[in-house]
Chain A
Amino acid sequence: DTEVTQTPKHLVMGMTNKKSLKCEQHMGHRAMYWYKQKAKKPPELMFVYSYEKLSINESVPSRFSPECPNSSLLNLHLHALQPEDSALYLCASSQDRTGGEQFFGPGTRLTVL
């Protein structure tokens, strides 16, 4: 299995809602990433988990809260988002910290009303 899966595919939420994005991989990768991608822009790194520990937080606002329950799962909890947070949220994984080859999921298209 060489796939990264993400759910849901699309999400529409209000500014007072709480929702979660989920990401799963079964390739035995020990590093997992959240990226945010706005239209016609490259992905921007948000968080990196390595061996289930948060390794990088790129100064992301606290309304985004990542969680890595185990080596296969990565969640992104969303609360009190703003309309400018609307974007494609991509999850990726890589074998470990020694290689940059990342496998991306299809993304969750988030719209904040």
Chain B
Amino acid sequence: GEDVEQSLFLSVREGDSSVINCTYTDSSSTYLYWYKQEPGAGLQLLTYIFSNMDMKQDQRLTVLLNKKDKHLSLRIADTQTGDSAIYFCADYTGGFKTIFGAGTRLFVKA
């Protein structure tokens, strides 16, 4: 079945760039999403990329998609302590189902 994998932890210093990686298995992905979840809160959609794109930039966020390798990454420039959260990669292939990765916990050290 479809699967989405992410590394579980990432630790960076404030002001550095963070890169969170994700791999997925489904070849029929249409959209790939990045969600952020702060402690005790719901998921917040950060950004998404359509499967026929290879890059999308939105202020401090850059999404890169390598469709051949089924690899997605989220780069956060100038990471701040407020960026500390869990980041979920999600694969939407149609219908109502979105496959979520396990989430990457980002720690930002001051």
Chain A residues in the interface with B (C-beta under 8 A) = 4, 6, 31, 33, 40-43, 45, 48, 50, 55-56, 90, 92, 94, 97, 99-107, 109
The docked-state distance in angstroms from the alpha carbon of A33 to that of B98 is 11
Interface of B is mostly: strand
Known contacts A41-B102, A99-B31; A90 and B43 CB within 8 A of each other: yes
Q: Indicate whether A42 sits within 8 Å of B100 (C-beta atoms), given known contacts A100-B33, A100-B92, A101-B33.
A: yes
Provide 12 A-B residue pairs closer than 8 Å at the C-beta atoms, listed in order of the A residue: A4-B42, A41-B102, A42-B100, A56-B96, A97-B95, A97-B96, A100-B33, A101-B48, A102-B43, A104-B43, A104-B45, A107-B42
Residue B1 at the chain A interface, CB threshold 8 Å: no
How many residues belonging to B are interface residues under a CB distance threshold of 8 Å?
22
Among B42, B44, B103: residue with most chain A CB under 10 A: B42
